[in-house]
A and B are shown apart, each in its own frame.
Chain A
Amino acid sequence: MDTLFRLVSLQSSDQQSSFKSSRTSSSSRSSKANHHLFHQPFQNREEEKYREECGNNYHVCVDEDFSSSSSSKHLQPHPSTAATPTPSTAATTTTASTAHVLFELADFSFPPDLNIDFASSSSAAAGGGGGGWAAQLLLECARAVAARDSQRVQQLMWMLNELASPYGDTEQKVASYFLQALFARLTSAGPRTLLTLAAASDRTCSFDSTRRTALRFQELSPWSSFGHVAANGAILESFLDAAGGGGSPQPQRLHILDLSNTFCTQWPTLLEALATRSSDDTPHLSITTVVSSASPSAAVQRVMKEIGQRMEKFARLMGVPFKFNVIHHAGDLSELDLDRLDLREGGGALLAVNCVNALHSVSPAGSRRDLFINALRRLQPLIVTVVEEESDLQAASGGDGGGEEGEEGFLKVFRESLRFFSAYFDSLEESFPRTSNERLALERAAGRAVVDLVACPAAESAERRETAAGWSLRMRAAGFAPAAFSEDVADDVRALLRRYREGWSMRSAGEADDPGGAAPGIFLAWKDQPVVWASAWKP
C-alpha cells in the first residue's frame, strides 16, 4: 500500500506536468482503456453479488479474482504471501505496463482543477483514524458525494474500484466495502443492496458455517470474547451475591434474557463456571435468547434450533439444570414485548439481561433506544450487561439521530465508520490467516453494516453504534447505576487478552481518553483505539 500511495501522491503532486505529457503520449491507448474502466465498477459489483450468492468455496473465488481482475491485483503490496494464489502469468508479466496504463489514465481523467490534497485529507484521516490510501480516497470520495460533484465522484470511484478488492489487503478490503456502500448511496439503493447482501449471506448460512465463524473469531480475536468474559463475570458475581448467604434451602434460579448477536458462544463458559464453582447448589439456569431481525430468515431459525440443542446437551453434561428458549422477533428490538416472556418463571428467578451489540441494533429514530432501555429497567433485573462496539455513529450527536441527516451528518458518520471499520479490518487482518473463509464472512457482515450506515436512512438503521458515554447517559437516564467490574473479572479479562496476539489491551473506561469520560466499564482496545466497551448496570 505504501508503493501505491507513493505512486498516487507522486501523480497528484506532479499532476500539472505529467498530466500534459501523458495526455499526448497515451491518448490512443487510454481511450480504449477508459471505455473499459468506466464500466468496470458496475460489472464488478455484479460479480461480487454473484460470488456471494453462489460461492461457498471462496478459494475458488479468490482464484478467479486474482486471475481476472489483474489491474488491482498486481498493485497489491504483498503479492508473495504463501496463501495467496499465484496470479496468472499474463498479469504478472504485464504488471509494469498495466500500472503504467493505469496512471496514465488517471492523469488523463483528472481535470486540471482536480487537486486531491493528500496533505489535508491525511490530516483529516488522522482525525478519522485511517491514514492509508483507502481512507483518504474514500473520504475524498465521500466529500465529493456530499458536495454532489458527480464528475469528481466518478473519477474517485473509478480509481477506488481499480484499487479495491474484497480479497486484498486491509486497505483494499476497506476500499471495496466502502465503495460498495457509496455506490449504493449514489444509486439510492441502500436498503435494496442490503437485502440482496443479506439474502446472499442467508443462502450460505448454516449451523456449521455460523459455528465455524463464531468460534474461529473467538479463538483468534478477543473482539467478541472480551465482552463475554466481562459480562459472564458480572452476571455470575451478581447472581452469587444475590443468591448467596447460604440461607436459602433450595438452589436458586437464574434467568438470563440474552439479547446478543454472538450465537450463544458466551454461555458454555458460564455454564461451566456455574457447575464448577465451589458451592453446594448448582442453580437452575434459563436462557431466553432473542433473535431479532427486520426480516426473519429460516436459516437463522435452523441455526438457533441447533444451537439450542447443543446448549441443552452441554448443560446436561455439566450437570446444570437448564432451560433454553429462542424468541424469533421480526422487527425492531424495541417492539419486543418483554412482558410476554416468562422471565421470572413464576416469580422465583433472578433475572440478568445480557445486551451484546443489541442496543445499537435498536433504531435510533424517535426515542426508541431510551424506550427500550426503560423497558429493560421495568423488568427489575438483577443486572444488565451492556457490550457495545465503541463508535459514534449517531448522525446528529446529542440528538436522537432519527431525522433526515444532512450532508454533514453523512460525512461524520462516514468518517467514523471508516475509522471504526478500518480498525476492525486491521484487527482481522492481523488475527486471521490471509485466506480464511471465516474472516471473509466476518468482513462481509461488516460490509453489510457499512452499507447500512452509509447508504440507508438512519431511522431504519440497525448499526448506529454509540459511544460508551452515550450509552451511559441513556442507562443512567433510565434509572440504572453502573456496577463496576470486580478486580477478579478485570483479571480474567486481562488473562484473556494475554493469549491473543499483541495489540490488544484492556483499559478501564475512566482512563480512556474518550470525550464523554464519565462512562463506567472497560474497553477493549486494538492498537490503543478503544473498539469494544463492556459495562454492567444495576437498577
Chain B
Amino acid sequence: MMKGLGIQHHQAVDDNMSNLSSASGEASVSPNQQSSFATPNPNPVKKKRSLPGNPDPDAEVIALSPKTLMATNRFLCEICGKGFQRDQNLQLHRRGHNLPWKLKQRSSKEVRKKVYICPEVTCVHHDPSRALGDLTGVKKHFCRKHGEKKWKCDKCSKKYAVQSDWKAHIKICGTREYRCDCGTLFSRRDSFITHRAFCDALAEESARSITANTVADHRPSLGCQPTESHASSTLPNISVQGAQFPHLMTATEASASTASSQGLHELTLKGEHQHQDFNMRPDNILPWVAYQGPGPLLDLPPAIYSTRFGPEFRNENQPPNPPLYQTSAATPQLSATALLQKAAQMGATMSRPPNSDRMAAHTTSAAGFGLGLSSHQEMCGGGGGDGGGGHLLKDMMMASMSSPPGLGGGSFEGALGGILGLKREGSGVEGLTISHGRNEGGGGRGGKDGMTRDFLGLRNFSHREILNMAGLDPCMASSSYEQLQENKETWRG
C-alpha cells in the first residue's frame, strides 16, 4: 500500500519466513532467564515450557559455523542489494519491488525437517536436543547471546547485537512510562526499579501474584505495569493480569498469555496490508489511555487492541466480530495446550476470505484465542471488577460462541500465521514491534467514518459499555473496531 513502508513490511515478511521470528526490540530475554525468574516458583511445568528448542527427534540437525551462520548475502536483491540467506526470502522480497517472483514449490511432502544448533559450544542450544527449528532464529540467537552488542541506543546506552532489536528499541526509548501500583509514574526504568523495591505496594503484594508475574515475563516480575505514553503494550497487559486477577491466572494460563502475545506479534506482522507505523502522535493516544487512573482501568487499552482485526475486514467492509475472539478465550481452567486445540477446532469452522491464503494455518488462530483470553479477562476486570469477572467471562464466551462464526475468521488467521510452528527463542515479547493497519488517509472506509468519529468520544463511556460494544453488539463492535483502527498504535512490549 504505502510505498514508504514497503521495505519494513517486507522485512517483516522476511522474518516471517521463519517461524521463529523472535520478537525484536528489547527481547534479549533468554529462556534461561525466564527460568531463573521462575526460580521462586516451584512449578516445574512452567519451567519446562519456557525452554525453547525441542525439535522433532526425526529432524535433520544442522550445524553451521558462525561464519556461515552470519552470512547475510547469499541471495542478493538486484534493486536494493539486500542480502538473503534463502532464495525463498529473496523471492518474497522481490515481490515488494514489484519484480517477478516465484516461490519454489515443495518438491515432495516428505522433506525432512531441519533444525539448527548454535555454534557456540557452551550454549545450551549447541546440544542437538535443544536445537532451534529455524535458521533465522538460530542466527538471531547467536547474535544476541554470543555476539558483540554493537548497536547502542544514544539515549539510554542500552546495547543490542541485532540491529532490528536496536531499531525497535530506539523507537520506544524514553516513551515508556512505568507505573507503580502506588500510582507513581516513572520515565526511567532504574528509578522505577528502585522505587519498586522500596514501595509499600510491593510489600503488600501477595506471593500468588508474584508467582503469576514471574511466569509471564521478566518485566512483569516487577509486578509493574509499564504503560506507554504513546503506545500501549501487550506486556503490561499480561503482567497486570497476573497482579490483578490471580484467581484467574494459573501458571499455565500465564504461559498461554505469553504465547498469545507472541501470537499477536505474528498477527500483525503477517497482515499483508499492514504497515509499521511508528509515528505516534499524542492525539492518537486512546482516550482511555490518556485518562486512566491506576488500577484495572489501565488494562483496558491492550484489551481493546487485542480485539483488533486484520485489515481485510475493513476492505471487505465486513463487520468484524470481536466476540469470536473472545469466544476463543477459553475458560481459565484450560491448559495452554487445551486452549490451542480448542482454538484450532474453532479456526477450522471459520470461513476463509479469498485473500487470506498465505501462510495461514487454521491452527495458528490459537494464538489469537490465547490473546482473547487475556484481553477478555481484563475487560471483565476492568468493567465489572474482580469477583464477577470470571462469570462474566464465561457468559460472554457462551454468548459469543453462539454467534455465527465465519465473519472473516480466515483473515484473522491470515494475520496470525504459523503460530503452532513457533519455536521461539526466549519469550521475546518485551520488545516486539507490532504494526497496525494504517487507515488514516486510507479512504476505503467510507461510510464508517462518521461512526468512528463518534467513538473517539469513548473516553466518557464506562468500561462496561466499552465491553458491551466490543463484545456484545456486533454493530457497535464494528465501530469500536474502527475506533481502534483510528487510533492505531505501535504495540510495544
Contact = CB atoms under 8 A, between A and B. Distances in A.
Interface in B222-241: 222-223
Contact of B193 (A229, A268, A313): A268
Contact of A499 (B32, B188, B214, B222): B188
Contacts of B144: 278
Contacts of B40: 316-317, 319
A225 B190 CA distance: 10
A528 interface: no
A492 B153 CA distance: 11
Given A215-B195, A218-B194, A321-B39, A278 B202 contact: no
Interface residues of B, number: 39
Interface string B206-218: 0000100110001
Contacts of B122: 246
B203 A310 contact: yes
Contact of B197 (A271, A494, A495, A496): A271
Interface stretch (B154-162, B317-325, B398-406, B479-487): B154-162
Interface stretch (A279-287, A291-299, A530-538): A279-287
A155 interface: no
B38 interface: yes
A272 B222 CA distance: 9
Contacts of A319: 36-40, 214, 221
A309 B39 CA distance: 19
Contact of A491 (B29, B152, B203, B213): B152
A478 B230 CA distance: 54
B155 A498 contact: yes
A53 B214 CA distance: 45
Interface string A245-269: 0100000000000000000010111
Q: Which of A211, A275, A311, A321 has most B Cβ within 10 Å?
A: A275
B196 interface: yes
Contacts of A429: none
A276 B124 contact: no
A86 to B, nearest CB: 30
A269 B205 CA distance: 20
A436 to B, nearest CB: 16
Contacts of B39: 282, 319, 321
B258 interface: no
Interface residues of A, number: 40
A495 B191 contact: no
A219 B36 contact: no
A314 interface: yes
A149 interface: no
B428 to A, nearest CB: 12
A268 B156 CA distance: 18
A269 B193 contact: yes
A131 B198 CA distance: 40
Contacts of B187: 499
B239 to A, nearest CB: 12
A276 to B, nearest CB: 5
A488 interface: yes
Q: Which of A281, A319, A496 has most B Cβ within 10 Å?
A: A319
Interface string B154-175: 0111010000000000000000
B119 to A, nearest CB: 15
A323 to B, nearest CB: 14
Given A313-B202, A317-B221, A319-B40, A278 B29 contact: yes
Nearest to A492: B157
Contacts of B202: 310, 313-314, 317
Contact of A278 (B28, B38, B210, B213): B28
A280 B214 contact: no
A211 B198 contact: yes
B429 to A, nearest CB: 14
A8 interface: no
Contact of B157 (A267, A307, A316, A491): A491
A262 B124 CA distance: 40
B217 to A, nearest CB: 11
Nearest to A267: B197
Contact of A269 (B28, B32, B36, B194): B194
B145 interface: yes
B33 interface: yes
Contact of A268 (B37, B197, B203, B221): B197
A275 B37 contact: yes
Contacts of B198: 211, 215, 265, 268, 307, 310
Contacts of A492: 157
Interface in B415-448: none
A481 interface: no
A88 B39 CA distance: 62
A46 B262 CA distance: 66
Interface in B355-394: none
B411 interface: no
Nearest to B144: A278
What 10 pairs between A and B have smallest CB-CB spacing?
Answer: A268-B197, A495-B157, A491-B157, A314-B197, A319-B37, A282-B36, A280-B32, A246-B122, A319-B39, A268-B194
Given A218-B191, A269-B193, 9 more contacts: A215-B198, A218-B194, A219-B191, A267-B197, A278-B144, A279-B30, A279-B32, A280-B124, A499-B188
16 contacts: A215-B195, A269-B193, A278-B29, A278-B145, A279-B30, A279-B33, A282-B36, A307-B198, A313-B202, A314-B202, A317-B202, A317-B222, A492-B157, A495-B157, A498-B155, A499-B187
Interface of A: 211, 215, 218-219, 225, 229, 246, 265, 267-269, 271-272, 275-282, 307, 309-311, 313-314, 316-319, 321, 488, 491-492, 494-496, 498-499
